[in-house]
Amino acid sequence: MQKRMKIGLICPEVPGHLNPLTTLGRELQRRGHRVSVIGSKMAQPITERAGLAFCCLGSDDELSVQLEVEFRKLGQLSGIRSMSQTGKIFGLGAKLLLRYLPQILSEQLFDGLVIDQLSPAACVIAEKHAVPFVIACNALAMRWDSMIPPPPLFWSHQTMTMGRLRKRVIKVLLPRIYYWLSDQSETKVNPLLLVFEHQHGLAHIAQQPAFFDFPFASHPSLLHYTGPWHTPERDDALDFPWEWLDGRPLIYASMGTLQNNLSSIFDMIVEAVKTLPLQVVLSKGGSPVTLSRPLPDNVLLVERAPQLKLLEKVSLAITHAGLNTALECLTYGVPMLCLPVTNDQPGVAKRIEWLGAGKIIPLHRATPQRIKEALVSLLNDPAYAQKANEYQQRLAQTRGVEEAVNIIERAFISKAPVPVRHP
Same domain, 256 and 362: yes
Higher pLDDT, 406 or 82: 406
Higher pLDDT, 385 or 261: 385
Cβ–Cβ under 8 Å, residues 189 and 383: no
Same domain, 55 and 86: yes
Same domain, 101 and 116: yes
Chain-centroid distance, C-alpha 202: 22
Percent of the chain clearing pLDDT 70 (strictly above): 87
Same domain, 138 and 166: yes
CA distance 369 to 365: 11
Task: Return mean pLDDT, the chain.
Answer: 88
Q: Determine, yes or no, domain membership for 232.
A: no
* Per-residue pLDDT at 162: 46
Q: Determine, yes or no, domain membership for 420.
A: no
* pLDDT of 166 over the 90 cut: no
Can you name the residues that pair with 115 across neighbouring β-strands? 10, 135
* pLDDT of 81 over the 90 cut: no
* Per-residue pLDDT at 49: 92
* pLDDT of 289 over the 90 cut: no
Task: State the SS3 of 77-146.
Answer: CCHHHHHHHHHHHHHHHHHHHHHHHHHHHHHHCCCEEEEECCCHHHHHHHHHCCCCEEEEECCCCCCCCC
Question: What residues make up the domain containing 35?
Answer: 6-227+398-414
Average pLDDT score over residue span 75-90: 75
* pLDDT of 260 over the 60 cut: no
Same domain, 104 and 92: yes
Average pLDDT score over residue span 277-303: 91
Q: Where are the alpha helices (DSSP H) in 200-319?
A: 263-273, 307-311
Q: Determine, yes or no, domain membership for 266.
A: yes
> Is residue 353 left, alpha or beta, with left meaning phi > 0 and alpha meaning psi from -120 to 50?
alpha
Average pLDDT score over residue span 151-162: 60
The pLDDT tens digits of the residues spanning 86-105 come to 778 888 899 999 999 999 99
CA distance 191 to 11: 13
* pLDDT of 163 over the 60 cut: no
Backbone angles phi, psi at 299, to 5 degrees: -120, 130
Q: Determine, yes or no, domain membership for 421.
A: no
CA distance 18 to 14: 6
CA distance 353 to 392: 16
Cβ–Cβ under 8 Å, residues 19 and 46: yes
* Per-residue pLDDT at 1: 42
Average pLDDT score over residue span 392-401: 95
DSSP, residue by residue, 371-422: HHHHHHHHHH-HHHHHHHHHHHHHHTT--HHHHHHHHHHHHHHHTS------
Average pLDDT score over residue span 126-143: 94
* Per-residue pLDDT at 227: 94
Same domain, 201 and 296: no
Q: Determine, yes or no, domain membership for 423.
A: no
Calculated CA dihedral for residues 274, 347, 224, 358, nearest 10 degrees? 40
Backbone angles phi, psi at 132, to 5 degrees: -60, 145
Cβ–Cβ under 8 Å, residues 195 and 396: no
The CATH number of whichever domain residue 64 belongs to comes to 3.40.50.2000
Query: How many separate domains does the chain show?
Result: 2
Average pLDDT score over residue span 173-193: 68
Q: What is the helix (H) or strand (E) element at residue 336, kind and residue range?
A: strand 336-338
Higher pLDDT, 83 or 352: 352
* Per-residue pLDDT at 175: 63
Average pLDDT score over residue span 232-246: 83
Considering only 206-210, 261-265, 327-331, which range has the smallest mean pLDDT?
261-265
Same domain, 136 and 251: no
Q: Determine, yes or no, domain membership for 271.
A: yes
Position 79 confidence tier, pLDDT thresholds 50, 70, 90: low
* pLDDT of 253 over the 60 cut: yes
Q: What is the helix (H) or strand (E) element at residue 165, kind and residue range?
A: helix 161-181
Q: Determine, yes or no, domain membership for 129.
A: yes
Give pTM, 2 decimals: 0.89
Sign of CA dihedral 91, 195, 348, 8: negative
* pLDDT of 294 over the 50 cut: yes
Q: Determine, yes or no, domain membership for 40.
A: yes
Same domain, 369 and 405: no
Considering only 116-130, 221-235, 261-275, 323-337, which range has the smallest mean pLDDT?
221-235
CA distance 10 to 8: 7
